[in-house]
Amino acid sequence: MKTFSILHYLYLVFAALFLFDAIGKWNSVGYDAYISLFFSVLALAMFFFRKKFKKRFQDRGKL
């Protein structure tokens, strides 16, 4: 169960990697940067989604 609490931070790592990729592609390639930005925002949204539901399930166990 400890690994599941650590794995949602992996989404932050992927968001940072896709953001750096988008910055690198911004002037050279063009439209490929938008795809990387989309995945970066998606990974960031998944991080907050997983964090919210992790807290919700922990609070449910305390009742």
Mean pLDDT of the chain: 85
pTM of the model: 0.78
Residue type, 32: D
What average pLDDT does range 24-51 have in this prediction? 89
The H helix count followed by the E strand count for the chain is: 3, 0
pLDDT digits (tens, 9 = 90+) for 21-33: 999 888 887 678 8
The closest alpha carbon to 38, from 4, 15, 9, 60, belongs to 15
Contact assessment for residue 8 and residue 43, using Cβ atoms and an 8 Å cutoff: no
User: Tell me, what's the pLDDT at 62?
Assistant: 66
User: Tell me, what's the pLDDT at 38?
Assistant: 95
Contact assessment for residue 9 and residue 47, using Cβ atoms and an 8 Å cutoff: yes
